[in-house]
Amino acid sequence: MKVNIIPENCIACGLCYLHAPDVFDYHDNGIVKFNNSDKLEKEYISDDKIISAAKACPTAAIKITKS
Ligand code: SF4
């Protein structure tokens, strides 16, 4: 599945990290990024933790496209 993050939607609430700490990380200002990458789009094997993170995000800053 394809995962996109939309930093301009992020309000730095920290919820996505609670669901998938091995996938999401934050810039110094608390805005979401991928762990070990500054890309805005990454491909992952389908993962319930990432799906939970996307559902938990209050501002739809994480989008998943099933491939
Ligand atoms: S859950 Fe959404 S708003 Fe909160 S830190 Fe993660 S991407 Fe940002």
Where along the chain do its domains lie?
Answer: 1-63
Q: What is the pLDDT of residue 60?
A: 98
Contact 15 CB / ligand 1 (< 6 Å)? yes
**CB of residue 6 inside a 6 A radius of ligand 1:** no
Is the pLDDT at 67 greater than 90? The verdict is no
- For residue 45, the one-letter residue type is I
Q: Give the burial class of 54: count Cβ atoms within 10 A of its Cβ; 0-12 exposed, 13-18 middle, 19 or more buried.
A: buried
Report the percentage of the chain scoring pLDDT > 90: 96
Answer whether CATH 3.30.70.20 is correct for domain 1-63.
yes
Taking the CA atoms of 16, 18, 22 and 28 in sequence, report the sign of the dihedral they define. positive
- Cα diameter, the chain: 32
What local confidence, expressed as pLDDT, does residue 4 receive? 98
- pLDDT band at residue 22 under the 50/70/90 scheme: very high
Enclosing H/E stretch for 49: helix 48-56
> Can you read off the two tokens belonging to residue 48?
């319930």
Note the pLDDT tens digit of each residue in 43-61: 999 999 999 999 999 999 9
Distance 60 CA to ligand 1 centre (A): 8
Q: What is the mean pLDDT of residues 15-41?
A: 97
